[in-house]
C-alpha cells in the first residue's frame, strides 16, 4: 500500500506523531523494550473518508513502517464507535493517546487526565473557522433561518451545536421547528454546490474547505455568503494520557519535523503544512459554547 492510497486528512495527526519518532530519537535510537503507544481513534469522525477496514489497514501500515526504526515493539491503534467506551479505556490507562472531535473530548473526557498532544494545521498562526453559510448574494441582507432548508455535516456534533446555539438565541425554538427541511451530507463540496444550485439554503462547512472550493469554482462566490464563524484549530484534537512519559520527547522534535524534507513530504500527503502542539487549554472555548448552549436549551424548556 502506498501512502497516497490512504487518501484522507483525518489521519495526519497519526502520521505526524509516528514520524516524529524517527526524528526525536536519533540521539537514543531505541526505546526500552516493551515501550507502548496505544492510540484510540473515534471512528465516526473518520467514517466520511474511508471504511473501517481501510482505516485499520492504513493505521497498521504506518505502525509497521515507522515504529520499527525506534524499536517500539508494542504500538497499536484501536478504533472506537462508542466515545464513552473510548473514555473508559483512557481512564483505565489502556490508551496512551486519544484522537477525537474536540467537543466530544471537552464534554466526555476527564480534563485532569489530558496533557498536550498534537494537531495538524495549515499554518502555525491559522485558525480553521467552522462557517455557517447561506445561499444568497454577498450584498443581500440575510432574511433569517425561518423556513430555510438546512444541510448539516454527518457525525459533526460541533457543527450542529454551533448552529443550534444560534437558532436558540434568535428564535428560542429547536432546529426542527425553524427549518423547513434538514438533510445531512458527508462532503463539503457537495454541500456548497447544493446551495448554489438551490437544493438547500443553509449549510455548515469548514472555512479552509470552503476557500478551496471557491478557488476552484469562483462563480460560486456570487451565491454563497458566510453568516458566522466559530474559530477552531482543527476537526480532531489529539491528547496524551498524563502518565505517558514520552510526551516531552515528541514535543521537542516538533519543529525539526516541520523543517525536515521527510516531514514536509508527509505533511504534503496529508494536505497540511505544519504540526503544532495541541494544548489542553484549546478546549476552553468549547466549554464556553457548550455552556451557552445548555443555558439556552434550558430556557427553551422552561418557556
Q: What's the pLDDT tens digit per position in 162-211?
A: 999 999 999 999 999 999 999 999 888 899 999 999 999 999 999 888 98
Q: What is the pLDDT of residue 64?
A: 54
Q: What is the pLDDT of residue 290?
A: 97
CATH class of the structural domain 128-232:
alpha beta
Q: Where in the chain is the domain with CATH 3.40.190.10?
A: 3-125+234-285, 128-232
Please tell me the CATH code under which domain 3-125+234-285 is placed. 3.40.190.10
The four Cα atoms 105, 108, 113, 116 give a dihedral, to 10 degrees, of: 10
Q: Tell me the backbone φ, ψ of residue 39, rounded to 5 degrees.
A: -110, 130
Strand ranges (E), 81-126: 97-100, 114-121
Measured distance between the N- and C-terminal CA atoms of the chain, rounded to whole angstroms:
57
Q: What is the pLDDT of residue 288?
A: 96
pLDDT, tens digit, 9 for 90 and up, residues 12-49? 555 555 554 444 444 444 567 777 878 898 988 765 55
In contact, 280 and 114? CB cutoff 8 Å: yes
Q: Is the pTM of this model over 0.85?
A: no
In contact, 19 and 263? CB cutoff 8 Å: yes
Strands 149-153 and 181-185: parallel
Residues of the chain short of pLDDT 70, as ranges, are 1-31, 46-51, 54-72, 123-126, 138, 249-258, 260-272, 303
Q: How far apart (Å, rounded) are the C-alpha atoms in residues 298 and 291?
A: 11
Q: What is the pLDDT of residue 235?
A: 84
In contact, 276 and 124? CB cutoff 8 Å: yes
Q: What is the pLDDT of residue 29?
A: 45
Q: Tell me the backbone φ, ψ of residue 265, rounded to 5 degrees.
A: -60, -45
In the numeric block, which cell numbers belong to residue 31?
526505546
Q: How far apart (Å, rounded) are the C-alpha atoms in residues 90 and 209?
A: 32
Q: How far apart (Å, rounded) are the C-alpha atoms in residues 97 and 180?
A: 42
Amino acid at each position: 500500500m502506498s501512502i497516497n492510497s490512504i487518501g484522507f486528512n483525518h489521519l495526519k495527526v497519526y502520521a505526524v506523531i509516528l514520524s516524529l519518532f524517527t526524528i526525536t530519537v536519533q540521539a537514543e535510537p531505541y526505546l526500552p523494550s516493551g515501550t507502548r503507544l496505544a492510540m484510540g481513534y473515534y471512528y465516526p469522525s473518520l467514517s466520511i473518508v474511508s471504511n473501517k477496514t481501510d482505516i485499520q489497514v492504513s493505521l497498521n501500515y504506518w505502525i509497521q513502517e515507522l515504529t520499527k526504526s525506534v524499536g517500539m515493539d508494542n504500538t497499536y491503534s484501536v478504533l472506537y464507535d462508542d466515545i464513552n467506551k473510548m473514555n473508559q479505556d483512557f481512564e483505565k490507562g489502556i490508551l496512551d493517546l486519544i484522537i477525537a472531535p474536540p467537543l466530544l473530548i471537552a464534554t466526555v473526557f476527564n480534563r485532569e487526565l489530558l496533557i498536550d498532544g498534537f494537531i495538524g494545521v495549515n499554518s502555525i498562526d491559522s485558525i480553521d473557522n467552522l462557517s455557517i453559510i447561506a445561499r444568497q448574494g454577498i450584498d443581500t441582507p440575510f432574511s433569517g433561518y425561518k423556513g430555510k432548508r438546512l444541510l448539516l455535516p454527518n457525525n459533526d456534533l460541533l457543527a450542529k451545536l454551533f448552529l443550534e446555539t444560534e437558532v436558540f438565541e434568535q428564535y428560542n425554538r429547536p432546529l426542527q421547528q425553524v427549518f423547513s427541511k434538514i438533510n445531512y451530507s458527508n462532503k463539503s463540496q457537495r454541500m456548497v454546490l447544493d446551495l448554489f444550485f438551490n437544493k438547500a439554503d443553509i449549510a455548515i462547512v469548514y472555512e479552509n474547505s470552503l476557500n478551496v472550493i471557491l478557488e476552484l469554482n469562483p462563480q460560486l462566490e456570487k451565491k454563497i455568503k458566510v453568516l458566522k464563524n466559530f474559530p477552531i484549530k482543527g476537526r480532531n484534537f489529539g491528547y496524551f494520557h498524563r502518565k505517558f512519559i514520552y510526551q516531552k520527547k515528541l514535543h521537542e522534535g516538533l519543529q525539526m519535523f516541520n523543517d525536515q524534507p521527510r516531514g514536509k513530504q508527509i505533511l504534503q500527503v496529508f494536505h497540511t503544512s505544519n504540526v503544532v502542539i495541541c494544548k489542553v487549554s484549546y478546549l476552553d472555548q468549547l466549554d464556553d459554547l457548550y455552556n451557552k448552549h445548555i443555558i439556552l436549551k434550558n430556557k427553551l424548556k422552561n418557556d
